[in-house]
Amino acid sequence: MTEPTFKPTNFIRQIIEKDLNSKTVETVVTRFPPEPNGYLHIGHAKSMCLNFGLAEDFNGRCQLRLDDTNPSKESDEYAQAIIEDVKWLGFEWHGDVCHASDYYQQLYNWAIELINKGLAYVDSQDSDTMRKNRGNLTSPGIESPFRVRNIAENLDLLERMRRGEFADGEHVLRAKIDMQSPNMNMRDPVIYRIMNVPHERTGDTWHIYPLYDFAHGLSDSIEGVTHSICTLEFEDHRPLYNWFINNVTTTATPHQYEFSRANLDYTMMSKRLLNLLVTDNYVNGWDDPRMPTLAGMRRLGYPPEAIKEFCNRIGVTKQHNQIELSVLEGAVRDTMDSKAVRAFAITEPLKVTITNYDGVEFFQAKRHPKLDMGQREIGFGNTIWIEKSDFAETPQEGFKRLSPGAEVKLRYSYIMRCDEVIKDRDGNIIELKASIDPDRSRKFKGLGIIHWLSAGHAVKATFRLYDRLFKSPTPKADTFAEDLNPLSLVETAGYIEAGTENLLAPDPIQFERMGYFVADSKDHTASQPVFNRTVSLKDNWQKS
């Protein structure tokens, strides 16, 4: 599977088709506008697939724009990570990467235009007073005493704000709309705030920066965006989006449409909370494979095609919904199955000495059970490793693997019987003595089948067995630290089939019976292999 299995219609697609058929729009122009204040996560992937996908499907164009309007929280690291993620998912943007900061002068000119029209003013109230006077959902706001400042005074103050003559928070520029509006976003929203912070791209040129609501829609207009597609939390911002566009001199009038976010089980999507996970060392960076970031998923081994297929499966609606993580993991399994070569690995080794065998031979096995990926040779000797979990000294009813006196089929090899259990002084099992039936033609119906590795033909490896970061499907923001899954990462030392150590990310491998894995992109070397478990072979969190 390299592409989504189908492309279902949705209400945004239907809007675009109608606009094209009616000639309301000649060319579809979308944009993907993340803020470079953190790494992109799986929720951004849905928006990315939608914006780039629609532009591609309708022979339009999609612009990648970094909405860099808050230099105190932004960095070039985040910007470069965003660009890498877009490339990783296989999307191509129109022209160069754009930035809101490219438009700072034009946005400033529009702010001056609003002042000259009597539609903006400099407010000198402190932030607490301004917040209190804004009112709430049941009571109207109170107009600022500075709302009546004349045009000349507002223009002078704004220019001095821009030059850096005032401290942070001393003044703001607000749109003059309606303090009585039932929509809180329309109650004289702030357009510019003072931030005496250098910008990554503009340096110390500006000491004021536009607010997102002001910069976003007008940047869409500058870029000629026809369909500005946002998540549902921006639905109440749409009147403000339209107000700015309608009250400045611009030729392009984009329209905003909203869709539901991808709310995923066992995951947090807030950049603020994801940043806390990183800065408070709950995880090992933004690309920790337990993170819902695209960088983390890439390191975990998720193929980009699986991310696209997941976004395709969940669809585009206006309905708030909680998506089971199994839907994402299912798309990952389906995608990896056709790509992953097969091999043996032992993650928790138990030594077995075969007492009636003294030799070396090699067995042939397919590198993939259904596809023609060639053969592999598996060495066999009188000392092998098996998984600890494949042996039980006192087996429960229905246990079909190895136990004292019982037989199992060694996959691709012999039938083996456990004859003796060796323990250390503390009673821990450290070795099994076993014997094989030399007749490989013997039927093994009814016997359990286990994997194994010859001690003389295995390579030491480290396994990182990743699981869900949170115990609860809906972790709460104020108690998320208490909900962390202590088994979200279990690291073990074991063995892999010889030759497997040369496999590098992003090429996947299925360690038979263990799951899909990928070599860690940072720590893996052929001399010291490190494999991350991307996903198990089945959903171990199914509801009982």
In a domain, 252, yes or no: yes
Residues 6+ apart with CB under 8 A from 528: 462
Which of the residues 174, 193, 238, 271 is marked catalytic?
271
In a domain, 194, yes or no: yes
Active site residue 258: no
Q: Which residue has the higher pLDDT, 367 or 539?
A: 367
In a domain, 279, yes or no: no
Which of the residues 13, 134, 261, 351 is marked catalytic?
261
Q: 254-312, pLDDT tens digit by residue?
A: 999 999 998 999 999 999 999 999 999 999 999 999 999 999 999 999 999 999 999 99
Q: 4-25, pLDDT tens digit by residue?
A: 445 668 999 999 999 999 999 9
pLDDT value of residue 450: 97
Q: What is the percent of the chain with per-residue pLDDT over 70, rounded to a whole number?
A: 97
| 13-30 residues labelled b (16+ CB within 10 A) or e (exposed) | bebbeebbeeeebeebbb
Pair (147, 250) in one structural domain: yes
Q: Between 42-57 and 76-88, two packed helices, what is the crossing angle to 10 degrees?
A: 50
What is the tally of helices (H) and strands (E) in the chain?
A: 12, 27
Q: Which two tokens stand for residue 391?
A: 């042996």
pLDDT value of residue 7: 62
In a domain, 15, yes or no: yes
pLDDT value of residue 102: 98
Separation between Cα atoms, residue 390 and residue 349, nearest integer Å = 10
Kindly indicate the confidence band of residue 125, based on its pLDDT and cuts at 50, 70 and 90.
Answer: very high
Per the structure, the count of domains in the chain is 2
In a domain, 278, yes or no: no
Report CA torsion sign: 385, 386, 388, 393. negative
Give the CATH number of the domain where residue 192 resides: 3.40.50.620
Pair (238, 382) in one structural domain: no
Does the pTM surpass 0.75? The reply is yes
- Neighbouring CB atoms inside 10 A of 224's CB total 14
Pair (220, 94) in one structural domain: yes
Q: 441-459, pLDDT tens digit by residue?
A: 999 999 999 999 999 999 9
Pair (512, 363) in one structural domain: yes
Q: 29-52, pLDDT tens digit by residue?
A: 999 999 999 999 999 999 999 999
Pair (510, 390) in one structural domain: yes
Q: What is the DSSP string of 48-114?
A: HHHHHHHHHHTT-EEEEEE----TTT--HHHHHHHHHHHHHTT---SSSPEEGGGGHHHHHHHHHHH
Last residue of a domain, one of 259, 285, 317: 259
Pair (147, 17) in one structural domain: yes
Last residue of a domain, one of 259, 293, 315: 259
In a domain, 368, yes or no: yes
Q: What is the percent of the chain with per-residue pLDDT over 90, rounded to a whole number?
A: 95
Pair (241, 107) in one structural domain: yes
Last residue of a domain, one of 225, 259, 293: 259
In a domain, 324, yes or no: no
Active site residue 35: yes
Pair (491, 347) in one structural domain: yes
Q: Where are the beta strands (DSSP E) in 218-348?
A: 227-231, 255-259, 263-264, 322-323, 341-343, 345-346
Pair (513, 405) in one structural domain: yes
The domain in which residue 74 lies consists of: 11-259
In a domain, 288, yes or no: no
Separation between Cα atoms, residue 324 and residue 151, nearest integer Å = 55
Q: Which residue has the higher pLDDT, 540 or 417?
A: 417
The DSSP symbol for 412 reads T
Give the CATH number of the domain where residue 472 resides: 2.40.240.10
Pair (230, 377) in one structural domain: no
pLDDT value of residue 319: 87
* Residue 428 contacts residue 436 (beta carbons within 8 Å): no
| 164-174 residues labelled b (16+ CB within 10 A) or e (exposed) | eebeeeebbbb
pLDDT value of residue 540: 61
Pair (219, 357) in one structural domain: no
